[in-house]
Amino acid sequence: MATLYIRRVIVTPDFTTSNRADDVIAAGQPLVVFDPTQPPVPEGATGTESPYCCTLALRNSGGPRLPIQLDGAYPAIEGMKNGFRLALVWNNVEVFRTPTIPSPLKGPNFSVLAQQLDWAFSNRPAFPCRLGGQWLARLYNSDGVTLVAYSKQFLMELCFVWSGPPAGPVNPTTSGTLARPDFEGIYPVDLFRLFFPAPPDIPQGGTPLMPWYFQRVMRTIWGLGLAINPNTAATQHLAYEIEHGAPTYVDDYLGGQFELRRLIRTTFPTMNCYDLAALAQLAIVIFQDSGGAELALSRWIFCDNYGYINPGPLFGWPQYPNCNNPFFARPGVVPFYQEPPNNPDRRPFSNHAWVEVTPDPAFPLNRTVLDATHCLQNAPNDPAMGTQSRNVYLQAQTDQSRGNFTQRYGFRVPRRHATFETAATATGLINNASCDPETILTFVKQILQTATISDTDILVGSAGCQILTNINAVTPDQLSGPVHIEISNFEDEADARFTYSKRERILRRLIPAEGLLPIQEPLGDETIRTSTNITLRRNALLLRIFTSPQPGADIPATTDILLRLATLLDSHIATHAVNSGLEVRPKPVLRENPTISHVVGTAFTLHLNNLDNIGPILIAESDDHRVVLPAGPGTRDGAFKFFAIGVGKVGVRLCVAHREKLTAGVTVVEVEIVEGGDGGGDGDPNTQGAPAKTSHPSNVAASHPRSGRKLRSGLATEQQRGK
């Protein structure tokens, strides 16, 4: 049998997606997802490296077929007088098929055009799904039965949803309006990789799909605490933070910005209930109808005065199957106490967060609980997977013998004005201290001589820049885990004060007043300190040093090390602060005019010169992604690509950071997108213009995931709270 040769596969996405490298695969942009001369590189278990992941719309039966074009060759195809049919096969399952296509009159080359492929299943999927990994093509006679040839395998990743990314509102301004996660116009492919099923995995025969998906989500999250998930870039499994129950990936106990990009890399080894609730909600809200309405009506629930937990494994600690004390880092403290009598070392959850969902949209008030923080030792020995009402969940999870705690539920007041809880006076001083990882390491080595850098991460934007340096610091007991040193250099001191206020508020929520440690010497302009965390603000710079201890850690020694580190770094920062205008700052130069015009449906590139001493991350921001969409980070030689999505005028900011000083260099360009032209391009879908103008509700103005405009990567999960 002669080999069927696939020359290229071209997909036109319906919705915008970002891959793990933060490249943007734009809606409406024809993209070559397979070319044998430039094959995609595998990413994770079944993913594809930049930029070969596409998000398409699920289509009702009888609706439009798939926007997938396939070019190939078969030596004898012109002899197939009655035409041919083609099928795409994934994991030995025929997923897509064509009707009969006329054979070429001459030569071996053929094309299957967009809208000719359709689902091969008798019942096309009616549920969001993902198909990633190895594919091959089969060539049939016109009868669709007689197999003529098949191709070699090729790599492709396709995701299917009903509508565009969730679009908020994150901060509703009217009472009674639920806050909703905002994906900022872009689906992150890593959410699909974690949670979406393949079509053959979707239950048939009338199984209610929403409860089934809840269980899939919660088992996936629980599994992150048992082993490395092959669909991530993780280097370790995750675990509950057992000293204070502190969050690492979300920035507020009422939700907030969730650092999905860092979670996928397991940048921090621990999570708490806020982190787990945020991840669960992100997995749930991508289950929407064709109009973009969330079907599960998820709500973030914050509960004060939660109580003691019943015996069962804690997230990430399966070796303690009867844990009833979630805070057991200190020597002599254990995860389980047999009571009575009551043991003073056993501690409750002073507060807790989870997500509530509606399994059946026909009954929106019938809400059930999703919570991956803790399982029960008794059956079913699973995290809360949406099968229990709140009352049943609380009765099962909390230890009633320790007293009847009166749970109180938090509400978020709609925010009309940004306020911060500080009386500090603005100094007007600007950071001019070197904050690069190598400099940070020199200070750490003054205390921990064997310390090394394990990982770094940089965020860049017009509002400021952030660098995270993770240190493998071998402490005397070797049980304190890595030390995380995060420095955020804001352009506006008010932003630094507001962010400090949020961080302080979280710690005061988590830790009773007696657990907050005194500041015996001047440290920063504002400082809060616990046994494993020091957060301080100095001028417009925020410094956070924290760690996650293991059971039996020498907490006093760890606390002392963090204080000494904070003192050294704060002195370094304070000594080098300067008045505005005297700081070392990048001075990029725009090659193009600062006011430009492009035609809707095209792609364009802006360039910066004079990029000496800048950091490795270059980020573009747009005032409105519905008009101009950045295509991803800039290149090291200063090139930024954009897609012209819709008609209008927007401001675009090209942002770089000084490699050592962490000061931002921002170049502003005014861009007008006008009607006219055919979108340009030279015939290659990967160099053609941008997507045609769309009306997807997902295209909302937002910052890039690595942008420091909010000094956070990832997705908003904030919810208005209610009983």
Assign 8 a pLDDT band (cuts: 50, 70, 90): very high
Residues 6 or more apart in contact with residue 211 via CB below 8 angstroms: 359, 386, 387
Per-residue pLDDT at 689 exceeds 70: no
**The tokens of 315 are what?**
């997230």
Q: What is the DSSP letter of 222?
A: H
Q: How large is the C-alpha radius of gyration of the chain?
A: 27
The alpha carbon of residue 222 and the mean position of all alpha carbons in its chain are separated, in whole angstroms, by 17
Residues 6 or more apart in contact with residue 39 via CB below 8 angstroms: 154, 155
Q: What is the DSSP letter of 417?
A: S
Check the CA dihedral 13-17-19-24 and report its sign. Answer: positive
Q: Would you state the pLDDT for residue 53?
A: 86
**Beta strands 270-271 and 239-240: pairing type?**
parallel
The CA-based angle 665-670-675, given to 5 degrees, is: 145
The amino acid occupying position 100 is T
pLDDT (tens digit per residue) in 66-85? 999 999 999 999 889 899 99
Per-residue pLDDT at 695 exceeds 50: no
Pick from 47-51, 95-99, 511-515, 558-562: least confident: 47-51
Q: Do residues 49 and 37 touch, judged by C-beta distance below 8 A?
A: no
Write out the H or E segment, with its range, that includes residue 274.
helix 273-285
Write out the H or E segment, with its range, that includes residue 485.
strand 483-490
Assign 215 a pLDDT band (cuts: 50, 70, 90): very high
Q: Do residues 456 and 469 touch, judged by C-beta distance below 8 A?
A: yes
Per-residue pLDDT at 476 exceeds 70: no
Q: What is the average pLDDT across 297-317?
A: 94
Pick from 16-25, 377-386, 682-691: least confident: 682-691
Q: Would you state the pLDDT for residue 522?
A: 87
- The C-alpha atoms of residue 314 and residue 374 are separated, in whole angstroms, by 5
Which position has the token pair 């599960």? 296
Which position has the token pair 């492919």? 189
Per-residue pLDDT at 427 exceeds 80: no
Crossing angle of helices 555-575 and 437-445, in 10° steps, is: 130
DSSP 679-720: ----S-TTTS--PPP---TT------TTBTTTT--SEE----
pLDDT (tens digit per residue) in 361-370? 888 889 999 9
Span 589-692: which CATH code?
Answer: 2.60.40.1080
Assign 474 a pLDDT band (cuts: 50, 70, 90): low
H helix and E strand count, the chain: 8, 41
The alpha carbon of residue 588 and the mean position of all alpha carbons in its chain are separated, in whole angstroms, by 30
Q: What is the DSSP letter of 309?
A: B
Which position has the token pair 């990967």? 686
The reply to whether omega before 476 is within 30° of 0 (cis) is: no
Per-residue pLDDT at 386 exceeds 70: yes
Task: Return the exposure string of 133-170: e unless at least 16 CB atoms fall within 10 Å of the residue's CB, then b.
Answer: bebbbbbbebebeeebbbbeebbbbbbbbbbbbbbbbb
Judged by phi (left if over 0) then psi (alpha if -120 to 50, else beta), residue 91 lies in left
Name the more confident of 412 and 464.
464
* Environment class of 379 (CB within 10 Å of its CB; exposed 0-12, middle 13-18, buried 19+): exposed
Which position has the token pair 């925020």? 542
Q: Would you state the pLDDT for residue 380?
A: 66
Name the more confident of 715 and 188.
188
Which position has the token pair 């401001």? 651
Q: What is the DSSP letter of 94?
A: E
**Distances in whole angstroms, Cα of residue 153 to Cα of each of 145, 148, 150:** 21, 16, 9
Provide the residue ranges of all domains of the chain, joining segments of one domain with +: 5-161, 187-409, 429-579, 589-692
Listed in sequence order, the DSSP H helices in 454-554 are: 493-510
Which position has the token pair 């990743």? 157
Q: CB neighbours (10 Å) of residue 92? A: 7
Q: Would you state the pLDDT for residue 693?
A: 35
How many CA within 13 A on the CB side of residue 361?
A: 10
**Distances in whole angstroms, Cα of residue 681 to Cα of each of 234, 591, 674, 687, 689:** 39, 22, 17, 6, 5
pLDDT over 70 percentage in the chain: 87
pLDDT over 90 percentage in the chain: 69
DSSP 654-684: EEEEBTTT--EEEEEEEEEEES-S-----S-
- The C-alpha atoms of residue 650 and residue 626 are separated, in whole angstroms, by 10
Assign 595 a pLDDT band (cuts: 50, 70, 90): very high
Pick from 17-26, 299-308, 696-705: least confident: 696-705
User: What 3-state DSSP class applies to 307?
Assistant: strand
pLDDT (tens digit per residue) in 331-340? 999 999 999 9
Check the CA dihedral 138-4-69-191 and report its sign. Answer: positive
pLDDT (tens digit per residue) in 626-649? 999 999 999 999 999 999 999 999
Q: Do 589-692 and 429-579 fall under one CATH topology?
A: no
Q: Would you state the pLDDT for residue 426?
A: 58
- The C-alpha atoms of residue 199 and residue 212 are separated, in whole angstroms, by 14
Q: Do residues 177 and 414 touch, judged by C-beta distance below 8 A?
A: yes
What is the pTM assigned to this prediction? 0.91
Q: What is the average pLDDT across 467-493?
A: 86
Q: Would you state the pLDDT for residue 397?
A: 93
Task: Return the exposure string of 10-41: e unless at least 16 CB atoms fall within 10 Å of the residue's CB, then b.
Answer: bbbbbbbbbbbebbbbbbbbbbbbbbeeeebe
- The C-alpha atoms of residue 524 and residue 544 are separated, in whole angstroms, by 11
Write out the H or E segment, with its range, that includes residue 624.
none
Q: Would you state the pLDDT for residue 89?
A: 95
Q: What is the average pLDDT across 527-551?
A: 96
Check the CA dihedral 528-529-532-533 and report its sign. Answer: positive
Q: Would you state the pLDDT for residue 362?
A: 84
Q: Would you state the pLDDT for residue 479?
A: 63
pLDDT (tens digit per residue) in 225-268? 999 999 999 999 999 999 999 999 998 888 888 999 999 999 99
- The C-alpha atoms of residue 401 and residue 541 are separated, in whole angstroms, by 47
Largest alpha-carbon pair distance within the chain?
Answer: 89
DSSP 2-54: PPBEEEEEEE--SB-EE-TT--EE-TT--EEEE-TTSPPPEETTTEE-TT-EE
Cα–Cα nearest to 378, from 314, 308, 306, 310:
310
Listed in sequence order, the DSSP H helices in 341-436 are: 390-397
- The C-alpha atoms of residue 239 and residue 560 are separated, in whole angstroms, by 24
Q: What is the average pLDDT across 145-150?
A: 92
Round the average pLDDT of the chain to a whole number and report it.
86
Write out the H or E segment, with its range, that includes residue 57.
strand 53-57
- The C-alpha atoms of residue 317 and residue 315 are separated, in whole angstroms, by 6
Q: Do residues 721 and 206 touch, judged by C-beta distance below 8 A?
A: no
Q: Do residues 404 and 391 touch, judged by C-beta distance below 8 A?
A: no
Per-residue pLDDT at 419 exceeds 50: no
Cα–Cα nearest to 552, from 450, 470, 481, 627:
481
**The tokens of 197 are what?**
């099923």
Assign 706 a pLDDT band (cuts: 50, 70, 90): low
Q: What is the average pLDDT across 163-184?
A: 85
Span 429-579: which CATH code?
Answer: 3.40.1000
Reported in sequence order, the residue ranges of 162-217 that DSSP labels E, i.e. its strands, are 187-188
Per-residue pLDDT at 498 exceeds 80: yes
Q: Do residues 278 and 258 touch, judged by C-beta distance below 8 A?
A: yes
Which position has the token pair 């880092």? 329
Which position has the token pair 């509950």? 240
